[in-house]
């Protein structure tokens, strides 16, 4: 072919490419003949063969998941239907040769690529859910953690208020943690992505601005959320506009909807009523003045995890209209508040009542009150 033709096919230059394929060491047959190739060792040879022998180009081939299965699919297809009837062709210059392009513009190809990608992603996610041999150092307190990835992420959430979403909705978690660690090591905020002169300043910025979550507008993070694999070429924000996929995912044990994440200061909600304020000190004063509850004094002898359980216990009791001390049920919140003040029940109950595993995780995801408990431990 002439130079202009080669330039036309520039994106298909034969470069070494890392393929996400579990069967790269098996021999894969050509789509149109009996020649076979080890895609792990002869990937570029295979592409060159398709191009020079069959005038065939596979668009974006380096990004196809499970290329072996992809090729087998089209080989079987071409056994029953001539390639010319399915694949569009193009003449180059004055040559009579036709070149055929397999691309996602063909609906069957788009659906095939998506199915193969989804299969591999779900398989990886299932492995990450069940693997109990995961071991890593905490990004903040440097504690060596062992067990499941979910346990590791729950530690980051409860202990350090790093909110990445429900572990059940994440995938490629190892890579996500490495990306976040790299940003922190580079003194870069993971939310606003500003760079700071030292780690202490970065930590204080992320704490005060509530920036312990990723930037939802950074598309690099889409890879790590399973919602982005649900439909071909559709990410969370597109799905959100089209239907109710994301609202169905909300709840105590689900990801925060990306669109709810913004850079305004989070409001801290009182433990006993709907009053809220961005300052924790203001909340402490409100608790003391309005509810006769001195949180700092009452919880002085509790460790961090007991404080977390206490906050979750109080929130659940108040939500259920039950006294935090005697568990008496009331018909409305005002009557409950009057009871606790009059009976002197606006105090911490016996530690055994709330120091239970069921109160270990936040009652409300991203509870800003819990965020400020981190300072006690640090």
- Smallest Cα–Cα separation from 326: which of 310, 347, 309, 311? 347
Which residue in this structure is represented by tokens 């191009």? 51
Instruction: Looking at the structure, tell me whether residues 274 and 256 fall in a common domain.
Output: no
Percent of the chain with pLDDT over 90: 42
* Stated pTM of the model: 0.58
* Domain boundary, last residue among 89, 105, 121: 105
Instruction: Looking at the structure, tell me whether residues 138 and 256 fall in a common domain.
Output: yes
Instruction: Give me the mean pLDDT over the 318-335 stretch.
Output: 90
Instruction: Looking at the structure, tell me whether residues 351 and 309 fall in a common domain.
Output: yes
Does 283 map to a domain? Answer: yes
pLDDT of residue 96: 75
Instruction: Looking at the structure, tell me whether residues 36 and 99 fall in a common domain.
Output: yes
Q: Which two tokens stand for residue 338?
A: 């009057």
Instruction: Give me the mean pLDDT over the 272-288 stretch.
Output: 87
Q: Which two tokens stand for residue 230?
A: 């649900």
Q: Given a cut of 50, is residue 292 above it in pLDDT?
A: yes
Pairing between strand 98-102 and 134-137? unpaired
* Domain boundary, last residue among 260, 292, 316: 260
Does 118 map to a domain? Answer: no
Pairing between strand 56-58 and 98-102? parallel
User: Buried b vs exposed e over 68-98: b needs ≥16 C-beta within 10 Å?
Assistant: bbbbebbeeebeeeebeeebeeeebeeeeee
Domain count, the chain: 3
Q: Average model confidence (pLDDT) for the chain?
A: 81
Q: Given a cut of 90, is residue 356 above it in pLDDT?
A: no
Kindly give the interhelix angle for 107-130 and 149-160, rounded to the nearest 10 degrees.
80
Please report, for residues 67, 267, 280, 288, the alpha-carbon distance to residue 234 in angstroms, rounded to integers and kept in the order given. 22, 32, 40, 49
Instruction: Looking at the structure, tell me whether residues 221 and 290 fall in a common domain.
Output: no
- Smallest Cα–Cα separation from 261: which of 282, 246, 274? 246
pLDDT, greater one: 266 or 90: 90
Instruction: Looking at the structure, tell me whether residues 205 and 239 fall in a common domain.
Output: yes
Q: What angle do CA 295, 298, 303 make, to 5 degrees?
A: 95
Instruction: Looking at the structure, tell me whether residues 227 and 299 fall in a common domain.
Output: no
* Domain boundary, last residue among 200, 230, 260: 260
pLDDT of residue 373: 62
Instruction: Looking at the structure, tell me whether residues 88 and 144 fall in a common domain.
Output: no
Q: Give the Cα separation of 255 and 224 in Å (integer).
A: 12
Condensed to tens digits (0 to 9), the pLDDT of residues 186-221 reads: 999 999 999 999 988 998 899 888 898 998 889 999
CB-neighbour burial class of residue 55 (10 A; exposed 0-12, middle 13-18, buried 19+):
middle
Does 147 map to a domain? Answer: yes
Radius of gyration for the chain, computed over Cα atoms and rounded to the nearest angstrom:
28
Does 56 map to a domain? Answer: yes
Instruction: Give me the mean pLDDT over the 123-130 stretch.
Output: 94
Q: Given a cut of 70, is residue 371 above it in pLDDT?
A: no
- Where does the pLDDT of residue 364 fall: very low under 50, low under 70, confident under 90, or very high at 90 and above? low
Instruction: Looking at the structure, tell me whether residues 101 and 174 fall in a common domain.
Output: no
**Residue 80 belongs to domain spanning:** 3-105
Q: Give the Cα separation of 166 and 225 in Å (integer).
A: 10
The answer to whether the beta carbons of residues 130 and 114 sit under 8 Å apart is no
Q: Which of 17-21, 31-35, 341-345, 366-370 is most confident?
A: 31-35
Q: Give the Cα separation of 40 and 233 in Å (integer).
A: 27
Does 119 map to a domain? Answer: no
Condensed to tens digits (0 to 9), the pLDDT of residues 132-190 reads: 999 999 998 889 999 999 999 999 988 898 989 888 899 999 999 999 999 999 999 99
Does 343 map to a domain? Answer: yes
Instruction: Looking at the structure, tell me whether residues 93 and 139 fall in a common domain.
Output: no
- Smallest Cα–Cα separation from 99: which of 82, 84, 78? 84
Q: Give the Cα separation of 230 and 236 in Å (integer).
A: 9
Which residues, 6 or more positions from 334, have their beta carbon under 8 angstroms from its beta carbon? none
Q: Given a cut of 60, is residue 51 above it in pLDDT?
A: yes
Does 125 map to a domain? Answer: no
Instruction: Looking at the structure, tell me whether residues 232 and 152 fall in a common domain.
Output: yes
3-state SS track over the chain: CCHHHHHHCHHHCCCCCCCCCCCCCCEEECCCCCCEEEHHHHHHHHHHHHHHHHCEEECCHHHCCCHHHHHHHHHHHHHHCCHHHCCCEEECCCCCCEEEEECCCCHHHHHHHHHHHHHHHHHHHHHHHHCCCEEEECCCCCCEEEECHHHHHHHHHHHHCCECCCHHHECCHHHHHHHHHHHHHCCECCCCCCECCCHHHHHHHHHHCCCCECCCCCHHHHHHEHHHHCECCECHHHHHHHCCCCHHHCCCCCCCCHHHCCCCCCCEECCCCCCEECCHHHHHHHHHHHHCCCHHHHCCCCCHHHHHHHHHHHHHHHHCCECCCCCCECCCHHHHHHHHHHCCCCCCCCHHHHCCHHHCCCCCCCCHHHHCCHHHHC
Does 117 map to a domain? Answer: no
Instruction: Looking at the structure, tell me whether residues 38 and 135 fall in a common domain.
Output: no
Q: Give the Cα separation of 353 and 327 in Å (integer).
A: 11
Instruction: Give me the mean pLDDT over the 331-353 stretch.
Output: 89
């Amino acid at each position: 072919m002439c130079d202009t033709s080669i330039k036309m096919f520039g994106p298909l230059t034969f470069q070494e490419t890392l393929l996400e394929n579990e069967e790269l060491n098996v021999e894969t047959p050509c789509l149109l003949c009996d020649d076979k190739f080890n895609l792990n060792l002869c990937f570029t040879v295979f592409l060159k063969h398709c191009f020079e022998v069959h005038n065939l180009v596979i668009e974006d081939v380096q990004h196809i998941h499970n290329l072996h299965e992809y090729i087998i699919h089209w080989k079987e297809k071409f056994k029953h239907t001539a390639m010319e009837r399915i694949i569009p062709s193009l003449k180059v210059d004055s040559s009579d040769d036709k070149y055929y392009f397999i691309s996602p513009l063909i609906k069957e190809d788009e659906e095939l690529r998506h199915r193969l990608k989804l299969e591999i992603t779900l398989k990886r996610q299932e492995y990450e859910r069940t693997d109990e041999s995961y071991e890593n150092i905490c990004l903040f307190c440097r504690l060596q953690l062992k067990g499941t990835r979910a346990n590791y992420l729950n530690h980051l959430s409860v202990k350090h208020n790093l909110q990445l979403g429900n572990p059940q909705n994440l995938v490629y978690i190892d890579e996500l943690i490495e990306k976040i660690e790299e940003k922190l090591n580079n003194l870069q905020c993971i939310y606003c992505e500003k760079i700071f002169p030292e780690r202490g300043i970065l930590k204080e910025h992320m704490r005060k601005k509530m920036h312990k979550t990723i930037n939802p507008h950074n598309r690099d993070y889409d890879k790590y959320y399973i919602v982005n694999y649900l439909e071909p070429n559709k990410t969370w924000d597109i799905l959100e506009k089209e239907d109710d996929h994301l609202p169905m995912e909300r709840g105590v044990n689900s990801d925060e909807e990306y669109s709810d994440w913004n850079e305004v200061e989070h409001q801290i909600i009182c433990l006993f009523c709907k009053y809220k304020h961005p300052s924790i000190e203001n909340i402490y004063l409100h608790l003391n003045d309005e509810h006769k509850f001195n949180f700092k004094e009452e919880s002085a002898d509790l460790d961090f995890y007991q404080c977390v359980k206490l906050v979750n216990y109080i929130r659940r009791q108040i939500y259920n209209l039950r006294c935090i001390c005697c568990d008496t049920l009331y018909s409305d919140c005002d009557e409950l508040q009057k009871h606790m003040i009059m009976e002197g029940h606006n105090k911490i109950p016996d530690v055994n009542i709330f120091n239970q595993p069921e109160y270990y995780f936040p009652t409300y995801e991203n509870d800003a009150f819990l965020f400020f408990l981190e300072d006690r431990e640090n």
